Amino acid sequence: MVIGVFSDPEPSHYKAPPPYGAQPKYVEIPHCAKNTTKSWCLEDSEYPQHEVQQALDQHYQAVVAFYKDKLANTENSVDELDKLNDEVYLCPSSTDYVRPFRAINVDGKWRTIVNGVESYGIKYTQTARIEECDVVVGTTCPLVPSCYESKCIQKNIFHRFLVYNPQDYTFPFAIEKFKLPGSCGCVVGAFHL
C-alpha cells in the first residue's frame, strides 16, 4: 500500500520564481536585439509573459487606470485613407503596424513593453504605426530634379507605452516614451544652375 500525493512534475515552460531576496535582473540588451539594428523587438523568446501577467493581476486597478488611454475608441483619429494610388511620395517608404515586446526608451534603455498579455479578461495590446525609409537616409530624393539639393531623411515620432519593470516591487508599471520611425521625408535645399 502506498500513501501520499503524486503529481506530475512542473511543465517544462514553468519558470520558478527567484529565491527570496534575490533581485530580478533587468537585461541591458535583450537577446532579441542581438542581431538587429532596430531599436525594438517584435519577437522575443525571453519575454517575461508569466511575470507580467502575475504583476497585472496583482495591480489590476492601477494598471487599468494607466491603460484606459489605450482602451479609448480611436476610430476618429485616423484619416481612413485606404488607397495610395493618387499620392506621390518623394522618398519611398514602407509602413507597418507593430506591437513591440521590447524597445529602447528616450533615455536609451531597453524596456519590456506590456503586449499580448491577458489579465482579468483584458488583453493588453499596444500597437504603433511606423514608416521607414526604403532608401538609405541621406541619399538624393529620387523624384526631385537634380538642379535641387535634396536628401531623404527619416522622421521619428514619440509613442507612449505601458512598460513592465521587474525591479520596482511597489508598482512595476509605468508609462514611458519611445522614439519610433514615423515618416520618410525629403529635404530640398538651394537651387543651382
Q: For 75-93, what is the mean pLDDT? A: 64
Tens of pLDDT, residue by residue over 119-154, are: 999 999 999 999 999 999 999 999 999 888 999 999
Evaluate if residue 13 carries a pLDDT over 50. Answer: no
Helix, strand or coil, per DSSP, at residue 54: helix
| Spatial CA neighbour of 104 closest among 50, 52, 32, 183 | 32
Give the per-residue pLDDT at 28.
82
All structural domains of the chain with their residue ranges: 37-71+89-133+156-186
Asked if CATH classification 2.10.90.10 holds for the domain at 37-71+89-133+156-186, the reply, yes or no, is: yes
Query: pLDDT at residue 192 above 80?
Result: no
Residue 173 has pLDDT above 50, yes or no: yes
For all residues of the chain together, what is the average pLDDT?
83
